[in-house]
Amino acid sequence: MAAKLRLYLLEEAKPGMVLGADVVSARGKIMLSANTILTDGMIQRLSCWGFTGIVIIEDDAESPALRNKKRADRVVFNAQYDQTVTIVKKAFEHIRMFKEIPFEQIREVTDDTVMALIGTPGALGYLHSLRSIDNYTFQHSVNVAIIVGVLCKWLDRGEEETKELIFAGLLHDIGKALVPPEILNKPGKLTPPEMGIMKRHATLGYEAARKAAILNRDVLKGIWQHHERLDGSGYPQGIGGEEVAFSAKIVAIADIYDAMTSDRVYRNRLTPFAAIKTLFESMFDKLDAAICTVFLSNLKDYFVGTAVNLTDGRLGEIIYMDGLAWDRITVKTADGECIELHENHDIQIDVFFYA
Ligand SMILES: [Fe+2]
């Protein structure tokens, strides 16, 4: 699914080459976006900023028509995504002021825009370059809805059920609009009493949804139970096993994956590989193993062919990833060495460049 890419030392880069991946600073800021056509000035700036390598789309890997179509798809995706984030942001402001969910608006965005977003090839990969700390809560709601929607497609769920589960994804954290902002946006670790207040968001969201006459049980349980875990270790009720609804199980997986791969005020984002490791470790006790298996085995298709920076400083490309063993990843470095990451625990993926 990823484009055919080649790693170049910056000194080999030439004007006119097309960036195959975002150039991201050590702090996670996007300095130049994928698909940018390089100019002399840009190459000089990258050198001043201390970058030594970049990822370029190989000339013969994609026809110009295909490349243009992908660029056009990406522009439409970004515009629809931004529009959805704005609507969710307004919905949060509305509920904070009026204590009620403007659910018709959210329903509309679910049925039209989010359904279109999940139909875009590469949608889950695009989410990795659309991150901002300021809009975290709203972007997270949209991201969870998109991940849930894509997962529903992989799980072969029908269109009507998919729409309800996307709706649950968009609304899953709506109760956070009723949590005091000083706790919600606190940059440091929450104290135990603050954590207790924060944890109320699941029940507050469920109650607000009921008050807004949202009657679908999947949606209500998706909101109320998305922090429940199958071993009973979650909240707010501490239920487990079959008591946890399917909608809550699917939202939980999307929630964990997106939260881990997002920048937070208290830490930088983790790579998808760290999130994948967590899902693997939790899938046999806390999360639904069947849903995790489908998610992880499909997710690997996004990352094979992806350029990465290793913790030893070398650039490389993922050439193999096992969908059912999180650490079985093979990286071919720019100098031609193939590294099995599960046999070289000292070397890990530090940064990845999704095209
Ligand atoms: Fe939550």
Spell out the domains of the chain, with CATH numbers in brackets: 1-62 (3.90.105.10), 85-269 (1.10.3210.10)
Q: Tell how far the Cα of 355 is from the centroid of ligand 1, in angstroms.
A: 29
Residue 25 has pLDDT above 80, yes or no: no
Q: Tell how far the Cα of 213 is from the centroid of ligand 1, in angstroms.
A: 21
Please calculate the CA angle 250-185-138 and round it to the nearest 5 degrees.
45
Q: Tell how far the Cα of 172 is from the centroid of ligand 1, in angstroms.
A: 6
Q: Tell how far the Cα of 53 is from the centroid of ligand 1, in angstroms.
A: 38
Q: What is the CA radius of gyration of the chain?
A: 21
The three-state secondary structure class of 333 is strand
Q: Which residues pair with 18 in a beta bridge?
A: 37
Q: Tell how far the Cα of 262 is from the centroid of ligand 1, in angstroms.
A: 14
87-129 confidence digits (pLDDT tens): 999 999 999 898 888 888 888 888 889 999 998 878 888 887 6
Residue 299 has pLDDT above 70, yes or no: yes
Q: Tell how far the Cα of 225 is from the centroid of ligand 1, in angstroms.
A: 9
Q: Tell how far the Cα of 138 is from the centroid of ligand 1, in angstroms.
A: 12
- Candidates 100, 33, 99; CA nearest to 71 is 33
Q: Tell how far the Cα of 251 is from the centroid of ligand 1, in angstroms.
A: 9
- Size of the chain, expressed as the number of residues it contains: 355
Q: In what side-by-side order are the strands of the sheet with 315-321? A: 338-340, 329-333, 315-321, 307-310, 349-353
Q: Is the peptide bond before 187 cis (omega within 30 degrees of 0)?
A: no
pTM above 0.95, yes or no: no
Exposed e or buried b per residue across 126-163, where buried means at least 16 C-beta atoms within 10 angstroms of its C-beta: bbbbbbeeebbbbbbbbbbbbbbbbbbeebebeeeebb
Q: Band the pLDDT of 172: cuts 50, 70, 90.
A: very high
Residue 62 has a pLDDT of 61
Q: Tell how far the Cα of 198 is from the centroid of ligand 1, in angstroms.
A: 9
Residue 267 has pLDDT above 80, yes or no: no
The Cα 340–Cα 177 span in angstroms is: 45
CA atoms 287, 91, 113, 270: torsion sign: negative
Q: Tell how far the Cα of 25 is from the centroid of ligand 1, in angstroms.
A: 29
Q: Tell how far the Cα of 56 is from the centroid of ligand 1, in angstroms.
A: 38
Q: Band the pLDDT of 2: cuts 50, 70, 90.
A: very low
- Candidates 232, 233, 251; CA nearest to 242 is 232
Q: Tell how far the Cα of 156 is from the centroid of ligand 1, in angstroms.
A: 25
Q: Tell how far the Cα of 62 is from the centroid of ligand 1, in angstroms.
A: 41
Q: Tell how far the Cα of 201 is from the centroid of ligand 1, in angstroms.
A: 7
Q: Tell how far the Cα of 227 is from the centroid of ligand 1, in angstroms.
A: 6
Strands (E), the chain: 5-9, 23-24, 30-32, 53-57, 307-310, 315-321, 329-333, 338-340, 349-353
Q: Tell how far the Cα of 132 is from the centroid of ligand 1, in angstroms.
A: 18
How much is the mean pLDDT over the chain? 86
Q: Sort 335 into a burial class: Cβ within 10 Å, 0-12 / 13-18 / 19+.
A: exposed
Residue 231 has pLDDT above 50, yes or no: yes
